[in-house]
Structure 1
Amino acid sequence: MSGPKIACIGVIGKADNPLHISLFPPYSDSTIEFSFLLNSCLDVFDIRCKQTSIDQDLGLLHAIDERLAAYGWLTTTGVKLLIIVDVFGQEEAASAGKTAGPAISGLRDSDMKPAFRALQSAYIQLLQNPFYSPDDHVPIPGNKAASLSACQQISNRRFIADVKRIGDSWAPGNAV
């Protein structure tokens, strides 16, 4: 039996613009579905920021269905880190048939902290790169729809490799 696996990692800018989205097998071809799921998580970020004084770790944002759960982390600069976890794992996701009952309760918020810390460290290293300009990734004020599509996503190879390593190596209880 396979344990929980990361299905998607999203890095969302202060203006709710996607900076980076990585999908992991068997969800590699589900870009539109996960873009929608990440976008729906932004509403939860907004609600929690308005209602409580939060720390960086938002924990479980919402259970998407019996298989997928979204977790969130807010950086001090307002960048949102999102991880969607397949709580049943890759092997069972590929098999046909339905799963019996939700397993989200078996995954604790603390299981996600190593992945978020590693992801935040990768983002900090990216910001320390003198050739990376975060201003290139900020939407231009004005027409929101036009500006969100016009801003660039992160293309730094080291950052992308770090995100892939985090997504591929994370498991509950393991350091990333």
Structure 2
Amino acid sequence: MSQRTKVIQLYKTLLFMGRDYPKGYQYFRTKLRRAFDKNKTETDPEKIDKMIGHESPKMAACVAVIGKDNSPKYIKCADEASALQFHYKVHTSIDIIEEKLNVGNKTTVDIRDLYLGLLFATEEYKIYGYATNTKIKFVIVLQSSNVSLRDNEVKMIFKKLHAAYSNAVCNPFYIPDHSICQCWK
């Protein structure tokens, strides 16, 4: 993807996020336009990449797919240097997911709603969960500073992740109960 396309995509994303700005959409749009106009003469590709990277935080710090026997099928972290920390957070969240799924009174839990919501939060991260009817669990770790995502948007991310997982498992070359890393690369 070219830098121009990345900048346009960033502008559109920020414009979309600004629709709920407390001071109003027009105020946000004016400020956004000024910020982009200020840097429109920049031609150094390294500076442009740095500005794009600075303005767009990573969506997810870690994404994990956990099997029905609580074995990891897929764990991918944005920062591979701190992968061990995220493995710990993902495995800690499995206990909370199991608690939510094994509620004694099943009438309180809607079986059709697979989204488990916010499992727990730390100072740096928010951990969300999702479980399928076949007991496959999805965990997403988001940065706490990322306040732009609302609960229904996180739910949509899980639905898309579930669809991608279903496509990978439906691959005729997929071996059941194996890691899915080869399918998603």
What's the TM-score, normalizing by structure 2?
0.61
Give percent identity, aligned residues only. 34
1:58 aligns with 2:116: yes
Query: What is the correspondence of 1:128-143 to structure 2 with a 5 Å cutoff?
Result: 128-135=170-177, 137=178
Match of 1:8 among 55, 58, 62: 62
CA RMSD of aligned residues (A): 1.9
Query: What is the correspondence of 1:3-152 to structure 2 with a 5 Å cutoff?
Result: 5-24=59-78, 27-51=79-103, 52-54=108-110, 55-63=113-121, 65-88=122-145, 107-135=149-177, 137=178
Which consecutive residues of structure 1, in runs of 5 or more, have no partner in the other structure? 90-102, 138-152, 161-176
Q: Structure 1 residue 53: deviation in Å?
A: 2.3
Q: Structure 1 residue 74: deviation in Å?
A: 0.4
Q: Structure 1 residue 155: deviation in Å?
A: 2.7
Task: Determine which structure has greater relative contact order: mean sequence separation of CA pairs < 8 Å that are 6+ residues apart, divided by chain length.
Answer: 1
Give the distance between the partners of 2:119 and 2:59, measured in 1 at CA.
17
Q: Which amino acid aligns with 2:139?
A: L
Q: Which amino acid aligns with 2:88?
A: F
**Number of aligned residue pairs:** 125
Give the distance between the partners of 2:180 and 2:58, measured in 1 at CA.
27
Give the distance between the partners of 1:41 and 1:123, measured in 2 at CA.
20
Which consecutive residues of structure 2, in runs of 5 or more, have no partner in the other structure? 1-54
